Amino acid sequence: MTLHDDSRDTRAGFADIWPIAVAAVPIGLVFGALASAKGLSPLEATLMSLLVFAGGAQFAALEIWTTPAPILLLAFSTLLINARHILMGASLAPKMKTMPLPQRLFGLYFLTDEAWALAERRALTKPISFSYWMAVAILLPGAWVGATAIGAGLGALLGDPKRFGADFAFTALFIALIAAFWKGRSTAIVIVAAGAASAIVYRTIGTPWHVVAGALAGIAAAALAQPSANSAEKNTSHDD
Amino acid sequence: MTIDATVLLAIIVMGAVTYLTRVVGFLLPSTLALSPRAQAAFDAIPPAVLVAVIAPTALATGWRETLAALICVAAAARLPLLGVVGVGVVAIVALRAIG
């Protein structure tokens, strides 16, 4: 890997991630504002964005937040929601073979849905270099932590985030990310199963179980819809 | 600028759990030969998880959120990421203003 390749990979990473980092700003502002409404100090909210750095788990934490903080429940909710990282890491591992272990262990701190989705797309054409990964990885925590601090500081001044539709930015961002995984009928089955199971469990049992129920339902539906190994060999047609 | 000891502990525990999920998969043996069915299940993980996270807002909050989510789906077919977020935010503000 030459210096030239490194800087080209860095530029490619920044080019891929910047729109996502921009989109993370309003979401981080909302997180900060909601955290301060829940009684967290601006320092505490900012620290959470820095140390946890996982939007879905952080919003879920606010939903179940009480004083004093229910540490075990928070840990469990965080584990359920972030368990998906285990599968992302398993999928990325063979595509990051060029990185020494210390670089991987450091780089993985910045693993997010967004950085992962971009890296997987990159891996379709070339291996993921440390330069590319860090370029993709580093802008997002900057935007996320900074926006959290500002949102928490301005929390009271901003008023209800719903007035600006900012609470919906997270949902819109995820819909755009889901669209990137669209592969036709097989994806539709996953979306319907995961959405239905998540919504039903959210209404009946509650947070954070909707994440694990929806994820498992979507994965199970995909497995059931896929012909078994034997019939797949005979039938080589694919979804569009 | 204050920080409560219990809150700090909760944040550190959440951070440690999250980092663990980020590295554990990476350290698993990567030489698994997956059957087509297991591969399909594996491929379904990202959309399934992303849908599961937003389903309460998109499907179980109110008709405005559901309609705005549908507008985002339509926008996602032709707009880049930031465009979808912009359309979604404008849509939800407009729908909440209507009723």
Q: Is the pLDDT of residue A236 over 50?
A: no
Q: Inspect the interface and report whether the beta carbons of B26 and A48 lie closer than 8 Å.
A: no
Residues A174, A165: Cα–Cα separation, whole Å: 15
Peptide bond into A70 cis (omega under 30): no
Q: What would the pLDDT profile of A191-217 be if each residue is shown by its tens digit? A: 999 999 999 999 999 877 888 899 899
Q: Between A7 and B87, whose confidence is greater?
A: B87
Percent of chain B with pLDDT over 90: 58
Find chain B residues with C-beta within 8 A of A190's C-beta.
Answer: 44, 47-48, 51
In terms of Cα–Cα distance, which of A159, A102, A28, A108 is closest to B85? A28
Smallest CA–CA distance, residue A136 to chain B, in Å, is 15
pLDDT at A183: 86
Q: What would the pLDDT profile of A125-138 be if each residue is shown by its tens digit? A: 888 889 999 988 88
Find chain B residues with C-beta within 8 A of A41's C-beta.
Answer: 1-4
Which segment, A52-61, A155-164, A173-182, B5-14, is predicted with the most confidence on average?
Answer: B5-14
Q: Inspect the interface and report whether the beta carbons of B14 and A47 lie closer than 8 Å.
A: no
Class of residue B78 by CB neighbours under 10 A (exposed 0-12, middle 13-18, buried 19+): exposed
Single-letter code of the amino acid located at A87: L
Q: Inspect the interface and report whether the beta carbons of A176 and B56 lie closer than 8 Å.
A: no
Q: Inspect the interface and report whether the beta carbons of B81 and A26 lie closer than 8 Å.
A: no
Chain A residue with the nearest C-alpha to that of B62: A199
Q: Give chain B's largest Cα–Cα span.
A: 55
Nearest neighbour of A174 by CB, restricted to B3, B43, B54: B54
Residues A157, A155: Cα–Cα separation, whole Å: 6
Percent of chain A with pLDDT over 70: 91
In terms of Cα–Cα distance, which of A69, A170, A51, A141 is closest to B18? A51
Over residues A31-45, the mean pLDDT reads: 88
On whether any CB of chain A is under 8 Å from the CB of B37, the answer is: yes
In terms of Cα–Cα distance, which of A148, A134, A138 is closest to A47? A148
Residues B84, A169: Cα–Cα separation, whole Å: 9
pLDDT at B1: 60
Q: Rounded mean pLDDT of chain B?
A: 88
Q: Inspect the interface and report whether the beta carbons of B40 and A74 lie closer than 8 Å.
A: no
Q: Between A146 and A88, whose confidence is greater?
A: A146
DSSP annotation of A21: H
Cβ atoms of residues B10 and A72 within 8 Å: no
Q: Rounded mean pLDDT of chain A?
A: 84
Single-letter code of the amino acid located at A113: D
Domain boundaries of chain A, sorted by first residue? 3-181, 182-240
Over residues B33-62, the mean pLDDT reads: 85
Q: Is the pLDDT of residue A64 over 80?
A: no
- pLDDT bin (cut points 50, 70, 90) of residue B9 is very high
CA distances from B98 to A91, A140, B93, B94 (A): 45, 34, 9, 6
Which two three-digit tokens encode residue A5?
A: 């390749």
Domain boundaries of chain B, sorted by first residue? 5-28+46-98
- pLDDT bin (cut points 50, 70, 90) of residue B29 is low
Sequence-distant (6+) residues with CB within 8 A of A28 are: A49, A143, A144, A145, A146, A147, A148, A150, A151
Q: What would the pLDDT profile of B83-93 be if each residue is shown by its tens digit? A: 898 999 999 99
Smallest CA–CA distance, residue B99 to chain A, in Å, is 13
Over residues A39-48, the mean pLDDT reads: 93
In terms of Cα–Cα distance, which of B40, B86, B81 is closest to A20? B81
pLDDT at A237: 45
Chain A residue with the nearest C-alpha to that of B3: A44
- pLDDT bin (cut points 50, 70, 90) of residue A239 is very low
Helices B36-59 and A185-204 pack at an angle, to 10 degrees, of 50
